[in-house]
């Protein structure tokens, strides 16, 4: 049984062929709102009705109808602003073109029958919305479509073509209608070309070709050969292949063309670093498509990335290098003997010597620190090469003589020059004593009037050791011995029958395909990544492994990462030898 506090709204609509459509809707409320606004309980779309025109309240079995705005309503043909109605007796309310008939239904619910009255004037039967729309005042859709179609062809085709041809004939022509074809401003890198569209768009109505890009960017090389890129990319979904077939039919290069990544006309900004997914599309499952690749699969630095691989020197004499993984006990042979632990031990002799030298040589009271030898480059990304005279000679002196208060030093890095310097100073192997004048034939030579042109002829000079130079000088041997001034850091060896040292080959970059920005890590201590204070031999590779980096760096989309890191933070797409775009942006 329906409660007496229920309204039943019965809507009666008339179809075009005269049929009635009746819909009932029950509302268990005691107050209804009536008006033109759609949020009313009884929605009457008639411009003669206020948005919130009236309210209808059921109280003690009677209906209280009250106007909410300035307009009233009709009650059984009489205009009024309020009315009290017994639903059992019924009544008819008039709101604009709508009649609301009130009564009680068989189950006791208050029945409100809503019907729109038919006008006796045929002209009034026109849809009221159409009379108040633009369609009633404007021409028909077909004429408008033709007019606007012709205007578009004139504004965006005829005028640009005409002004472009006129500009070629007379550069002073100021109107350039082809600007209407521009999709937006050029990026900052190409901003200077904004008045020279043909620099990139060589042929009209043809996409920009790779050859046009490489005509300026001559030093930019492919990520890999086109054939291997196609294999790594895979065939792709059928839909993508169909789209590329259609695009290529209209002259678009690709996939993998320059314009696929380097999109233009998107505003005067710098090119953003590529997203991680861009790289993962190929490298996430690379080995399944390129079975001969030496690269490991990589898709997310925190979840799928191979262990770091370093290029190290294995034979400093021959200059041989080898790629080694940090998974094992990787070692290198740079030809240099330098134990970091010996130099960094605050209680060791090296640190105490540095502390005694003091600030005049750039050392503090704590002794040797990493920054005393490893000096950052100007941009802070990497470090300058070690220089012996600047970084080492404060402790490892190369002085060997003093003349008139001037200290003479050996020239570091040139063994032949060192031999010559020691020889001239009387310390080297060619010190044969002062020449002796020969006024008579040397013993063993006969002939009183001998005037031979040889070194021992009459009137010639000879030296007191009577022999060619031999490398037997005790001073020279001591310098190049294991315990000598050179042997402290270098390995003595014989090269070409002459004394020398094993050449030093310090690796400038261990990871040729990856970059690391030291400046971005200035808040970290060197020893948090490089275990230099524990290294007792220069063959140790003091670089952090993958697990060490993952303590801060995880994938680009990892919310738990201290530093969300995409591929472009360390890797560049084009093998140019310069820092990747993500690293360049991280410096700002």
Residue with structure tokens 């014989």?
A: 494
d(CA 175, CA 152): 18
> pLDDT (tens digit, 9 = 90+) per residue, 92-105?
999 999 999 999 99
In tens digits, the chain (588 residues) has pLDDT values of 444 568 999 999 888 777 889 999 999 999 999 999 999 999 999 999 999 999 999 988 899 999 998 999 999 999 999 999 999 999 999 999 999 999 999 888 999 999 998 654 545 555 555 666 777 778 888 999 999 999 999 988 888 888 777 766 565 555 567 777 888 889 898 999 888 888 999 888 889 999 999 999 988 888 888 889 989 988 888 888 899 889 888 888 878 888 888 889 988 888 888 889 999 999 999 999 999 999 999 999 999 999 999 999 999 999 999 999 998 788 999 999 999 999 999 888 888 888 888 777 778 787 889 999 999 999 888 999 999 988 888 888 888 888 888 888 888 888 888 878 877 766 655 444 444 444 444 444 444 444 444 444 444 444 444 444 444 455 677 778 788 888 889 999 887 777 889 999 999 899 988 889 999 999 999 999 999 999 999 999 999 999 999 999 999 999 889 999 999 999 988 876 666 655 555 543
d(CA 282, CA 233): 5
Name the domain boundary from 86, 115, 136: 136
Q: What's the start-to-end Cα distance of the chain, in Å? A: 75
What are the C-alpha distances in Å from 438 to residues 102, 453, 463, 497? 151, 13, 10, 33
Q: Is the pTM of this model over 0.85?
A: no
In a domain, 154, yes or no: no
> pLDDT (tens digit, 9 = 90+) per residue, 492-549?
988 777 788 999 999 989 998 888 999 999 999 999 999 999 999 999 999 999 999 9
Domain range enclosing 43: 7-136
As given in the structure block, the two tokens for residue 18 are 């005269």
Name the domain boundary from 80, 103, 136: 136
Alpha helices in 219-318 (DSSP H): 226-233, 238-249, 258-261, 276-283, 286-289
d(CA 549, CA 527): 13
Secondary structure of residue 202 in the 3-state scheme: coil
**Which pLDDT belongs to residue 542?**
93
Would you give the distance in Å from CA 97 to the centre of its chain? 65
Domain count, the chain: 2
In a domain, 121, yes or no: yes
d(CA 374, CA 380): 11
What are the C-alpha distances in Å from 543 to residues 319, 338, 391, 514? 21, 16, 21, 13
Name the domain boundary from 136, 159, 177: 136
- Residue 401 dihedral angles phi and psi, to the nearest 5°: -160, 160
> pLDDT (tens digit, 9 = 90+) per residue, 238-286?
888 899 889 888 888 878 888 888 889 988 888 888 889 999 999 999 9
**Which pLDDT belongs to residue 504?**
93
In a domain, 353, yes or no: no
d(CA 543, CA 331): 11
Residues whose CB falls within 8 Å of the CB of residue 114, separated by 6 or more in sequence, listed in order: 9, 10, 11, 12, 42, 44, 98, 99, 100
In a domain, 474, yes or no: yes
Supply the CATH number for residue 87's domain. Answer: 2.60.200.20
């Amino acid at each position: 049984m329906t409660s007496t506090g229920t309204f039943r709204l019965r809507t009666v609509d008339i179809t075009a062929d005269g049929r009635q459509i009746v819909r009932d809707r029950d509302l268990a409320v005691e107050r209804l709102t009536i008006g033109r606004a759609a949020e009313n309980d009884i929605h009457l779309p008639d411009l003669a009705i206020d948005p919130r025109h009236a309210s209808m309240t059921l109280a003690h079995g009677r209906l209280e109808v009250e106007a909410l705005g300035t307009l009233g309503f009709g009650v059984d043909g009489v205009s009024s602003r309020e009315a009290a109605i017994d639903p059992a007796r019924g009544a008819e309310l008039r709101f604009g073109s709508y009649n609301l008939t009130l009564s009680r239904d068989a189950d006791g619910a208050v029945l409100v029958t809503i019907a729109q009255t038919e006008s006796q004037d045929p002209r009034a039967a026109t849809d009221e919305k159409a009379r108040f729309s633009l369609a009633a005042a404007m021409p028909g859709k077909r004429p408008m479509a033709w007019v606007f179609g012709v205007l578009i062809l004139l504004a965006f085709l005829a005028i640009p073509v005409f002004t472009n041809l006129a500009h070629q004939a007379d550069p002073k022509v100021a109107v350039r209608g082809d600007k209407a074809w521009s999709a937006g401003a050029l990026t900052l890198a190409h901003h200077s070309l904004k008045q020279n569209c043909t620099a990139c768009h060589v042929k009209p109505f043809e996409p920009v070709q790779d050859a046009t890009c490489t005509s300026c960017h001559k030093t930019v090389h492919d990520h890999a050969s086109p054939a291997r890129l196609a294999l790594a990319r895979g065939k792709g979904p059928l839909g993508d292949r169909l789209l590329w077939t259609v695009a290529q039919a209209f002259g678009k290069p690709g996939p993998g063309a320059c314009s696929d990544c380097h999109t233009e006309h998107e505003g005067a900004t710098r090119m953003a670093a590529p997203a991680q997914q861009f790289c993962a599309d190929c490298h996430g499952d690379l080995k399944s498509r390129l079975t001969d690749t030496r690269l490991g699969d990589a898709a997310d630095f925190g979840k799928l990335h191979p262990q770091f691989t370093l290029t190290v020197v294995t034979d400093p004499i021959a200059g041989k290098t080898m790629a080694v993984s940090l998974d094992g006990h990787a070692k290198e042979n740079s030809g240099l003997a330098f134990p970091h632990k010996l130099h960094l031990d605050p209680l060791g002799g090296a640190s105490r010597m540095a502390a005694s030298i003091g600030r005049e040589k750039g050392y503090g009271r704590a002794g040797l620190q990493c920054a005393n030898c490893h000096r950052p480059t100007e941009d802070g990304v990497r470090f300058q090469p070690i220089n012996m005279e600047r970084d080492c000679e404060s402790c490892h002196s190369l002085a060997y003589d003093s003349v008139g208060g001037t200290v003479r030093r050996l020239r570091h890095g040139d063994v032949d020059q060192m031999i010559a310097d020691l020889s001239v100073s009387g310390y080297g192997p060619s010190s044969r004593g002062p020449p002796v004048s020969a006024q008579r034939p040397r013993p063993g030579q006969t002939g009183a009037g001998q005037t031979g042109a040889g070194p021992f002829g009459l009137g010639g000079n000879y030296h007191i050791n009577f022999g060619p130079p031999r490398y037997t000088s005790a001073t020279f041997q001591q310098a190049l011995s294991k315990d000598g001034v050179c042997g402290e850091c270098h390995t003595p060896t014989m090269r070409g029958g002459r004394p020398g040292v094993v050449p030093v080959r310090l690796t400038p970059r261990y990871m040729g395909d990856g970059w690391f920005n030291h400046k971005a890590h200035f808040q970290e201590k060197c020893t948090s990544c490089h275990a230099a204070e524990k290294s007792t031999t220069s063959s140790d590779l003091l670089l952090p492994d993958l697990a060490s980096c993952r303590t801060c760096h995880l994938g680009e989309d990892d919310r738990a990462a201290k530093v969300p890191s995409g591929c472009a933070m360390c890797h560049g797409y084009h093998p140019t030898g310069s820092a990747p775009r993500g690293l360049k942006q991280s410096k700002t």
